[in-house]
Amino acid sequence: MPPIRLADADAILDRLRPRVLFSDLDGTLVGRGGSLLAGFDGTPTLAAAKALLAAHQADLTIVLVSGRPHAKLHEVGRVLGIRDAIAELGTVLVVNGEVELLWGETPRDLGKTPAQALDRSGALGWLLDRYQGHLEPHEPLPQDRQGTILLRGQLDVNEAAAALADAGYPWATLVDNGRFNRPFAHLGPGRTHAYHLAPAGVTKATAARAYLERRGLAADDAAAIGDAPSDLELAEVAGVVFLVANGAWSLQDGDRRAVIVTESNAGDGWAEAVSALLARKD
What does the pLDDT look like over 44-100, one tens digit per residue? Answer: 999 999 999 999 999 999 999 999 999 999 999 999 999 999 999 999 999 999 999
- Looking at per-residue pLDDT, the higher value among 166 and 281 belongs to 166
Q: What are phi and psi of 37, to 5 degrees?
A: -100, 15
Residues, the chain, total?
A: 282
pLDDT at residue 1, rounded to an integer: 67
pLDDT at residue 139, rounded to an integer: 78
pLDDT digits (tens, 9 = 90+) for 217-250: 999 999 999 999 999 999 999 999 999 999 999 9
Cβ 245 vs Cβ 268: under 8 Å: no
Its CATH architecture, for the domain 4-102+203-278, is: 3-Layer(aba) Sandwich (3.40)
pLDDT at residue 263, rounded to an integer: 97
3-state class of 85 per DSSP? strand
C-alpha 40/C-alpha 26 separation (Å) is 10
Confidence of residue 182 (pLDDT cuts 50, 70, 90): confident
Q: 62: Cβ–Cβ under 8 A, 6 or more apart, which residues? A: 21, 23, 52, 55, 56, 80, 82
3-state class of 200 per DSSP? coil
Extents of the domains making up the chain: 4-102+203-278, 108-199
Confidence of residue 142 (pLDDT cuts 50, 70, 90): low
Confidence of residue 146 (pLDDT cuts 50, 70, 90): very high
